[in-house]
Structure 1
Amino acid sequence: MTVLPARLSIVTLGARDMVNLRRFYRALGWPELPAGDDTWTGFLLGGVLLALFPMGDLTAEAAPGSATPTGWAGVTLACTVDTRDEVDRAYSAAVSAGATPVAGATDRPWGGRSAFIADPEGNRWEITWGPEATFDERGALLTWG
């Protein structure tokens, strides 16, 4: 075992507007942690916590002395679904919940299918299906390819 375990436990998004961002993720039907409020909140997603934290507070902790970031940072988050057809349905549901469409569902050269949306603050999400993906009972990704 290494000193730093090979695991991803929490993904934190710096929120410019906590009220709106919380509303969006709740509109997707994702259960918010009971302790969630406008100072910090989280959504437990198949063993990984998606945390929302005010951008100014996150910048002060994670990048002290830096300016508040703007624009897309070149990072995407992904939600893997169980079937090829679910990509299209999940994409439509996300757009209905307030996501901005970025790229519609497309069959990819590697054999899967995916689409891209942005949440109300521009964070990019890929909705993806891979033919070799398997999940545990919590929905955590076990294998990809």
Structure 2
Amino acid sequence: MAEEQNWEEANNHTLCANNCGFFGSPTTRNLCSKCYNDNCLKEQQMSTAKIAVENSLSPPQHQPETSSSTPATVSTDTLVADSVAELVAVKLQPRNRCGSCKRRVGLTGFTCRCGTTFCGTHRYPEQHACTFDFKTMGKEAIAKANPVVKAAKLEKI
């Protein structure tokens, strides 16, 4: 039937460059869609980590003070770099040791909302001086679950 319609199959299919078994295309660097998305995400993480490392290694640049009374503003790039540097520092911490007593926890470690892994003894926030703000999180959850409802007033006749 393909011969009747003069239909020809394109023979320019190439397998994914990661040898995952799917077909890639030249627009995605001969990668399949999944491998291409993973590659892009990996490159983005590497670039943010590289920027964070460069900012942490370079000395802080001192800006000359101006005579105006307006306070100096911090650029968003600096804030992003600082947060990435904090995330890199958190990821460098070994995940198989307790954050308080440094005891090996293996698979039984508890990860707190502050981002640190603890043993069974130090898993509670009171035991490890947790820095996570549970009260604010609770207030935000209640405010989101129970929005303020104001009814329209009736007009007097």
Do they superpose with TM above 0.5? no
Give TM class, smaller chain: under 0.3
Pick 1 or 2: higher relative contact order, CA cutoff 8 A, min separation 6: 1
Which is richer in strand? 1
The structure with the larger Rg is 2
- TM-score (norm: length of structure 2): 0.20
